Amino acid sequence: MSTLLHGLRCTARKLRSTPIVQRCSTKPIGMRRPFSTTIPMQDHEPEDANLSFARKKTHSHGGRRLEEEMEMMFEEQQHDELADEDDAMNQIENLMGDWDEEFEKLSEPPPERGKKSVVDTFHNYGEPNDEDEPMELDGEANESSDLYDNLSVLAHGELQQHQEIRHYARLAAWDMPMLSKLAKPFEAPTLDMPLRFRYTTYMGEAHPAEKKIVMEFCISDMPGLTQVQKDKLKKLAGVRYNPESDIVKMSCEMYESQAQNKRYLGDRVDELVKEAKDPKETFEDIPLNLKHHHFKTRPKWPKHWTLTPERKAELAAYRQTSVSSDQQKMLDGLLIDGNTTITEAIQQKSASTSAVPEMVMASRGKPGRVVSVKR
């Protein structure tokens, strides 16, 4: 019995994380002479990086407690040799069972955090949810969860595009009718609103060109300006002025939002109008520079090509004369018929095709042999 307890005691000591070399190494009795004024730090026992978390906890708590209990039992066994062997074996088995339970508790993985429930919206309405899929006995997901794992990159792109199209189809079916409540009747712009703004949108998608604002206004529609002030405004507009349509076109995309760019264009127009109304300088002695604009020459419809009533009557009389002359030629047999001409040409060609003599190469023979002609 003592031999069995001694073996268990040695096994428990082997489970400790302290290496044998460190336990058996000699330590100096006196303290070493310090080379600095700081307090010397104690040497800590090096940890084995290869041990897992559960094994370290087992070595630090379960192993030490088991060793202490084994030592106590070994001492009691030495003092009391009359103890029953069956009782000692039962106690050892109970201790080993407790140690196994502690090891299993420490080796269990940490519990998984709960997943957030997915709320059904327009984006994922009708799509399968991972939480609703049944689980098999071995813990693996059902085959339906691996439906999209075998798709290629191009197939995933097509699937994403199809989902986006379905999203906009839902918007058109459910949200667009609700916008009819916000509809307003069209009101034509008044004379006090000569500015026209053009916006760019990409249906809710963020795009760098979405912030650009284009503004147009006709100089003739600007209220409160005289002819001299309008001419000055044309000269101040410079290359933005179109002489054919009498429209000034400006754009801005310097700022991040459309409202800022629109406000900037409005301020520039106010400055131009204010400068055009300034009576100190009218720019009457400066000609209007139109080199920036290229006038495109478009061909016009000739006047003599226009069908007047006299011209229509003349063409009708000419056509009637041509028809009557053709009828007279047909009666006289002078009118050339195309079908008859083609038929006669085919007949002449078939009659002229006769047997043509074909030259036949003669084989080598005696000199003076006549070459025969095959007919």
Cα–Cα dist 206/203, whole Å = 9
Euclidean distance between the first and final Cα of the chain, in Å?
A: 131
SS3 8: helix
Among positive and negative, which fits the CA dihedral 170, 173, 178, 183? Answer: positive
What is residue 373's predicted lDDT score, i.e. its pLDDT?
53
Mean of pLDDT values over 222-233: 93
Among positive and negative, which fits the CA dihedral 84, 86, 91, 92? Answer: positive
| 259-304 tens-digit pLDDT | 999 999 999 999 999 999 999 999 999 999 999 999 988 899 998 8
Structural domains of the chain, with CATH:
1-17+51-80+93-101 (no CATH), 196-276 (3.30.160.20)
Nearest to 67 by CA among 19, 128, 8, 115: 8
pTM of the model: 0.41
β-strand partners of 373: 359
**Would you say 195 and 215 are in contact if contact means Cβ atoms under 8 Å apart?**
yes
Mean of pLDDT values over 355-365: 63
Residue 141 has pLDDT above 50, yes or no: no
What percent of the chain has a predicted confidence (pLDDT) above 70? 60
Higher-pLDDT residue of 78, 375? 78
How confident is the prediction for the chain on average, in pLDDT? 76
What is residue 150's predicted lDDT score, i.e. its pLDDT?
75
| 7-37 tens-digit pLDDT | 667 666 665 555 554 555 555 554 555 555 5
Residue 118's identity, in one-letter code, is V
Burial class (CB in 10 A: 0-12, 13-18, 19+), 2: exposed
pLDDT band for position 236 (cuts 50, 70, 90): very high
- Residue 255 CB partners (closer than 8 Å, separation 6+): 211, 261, 264
| Most distant CA atoms of the chain, gap in Å | 158
Cα–Cα dist 164/124, whole Å = 11
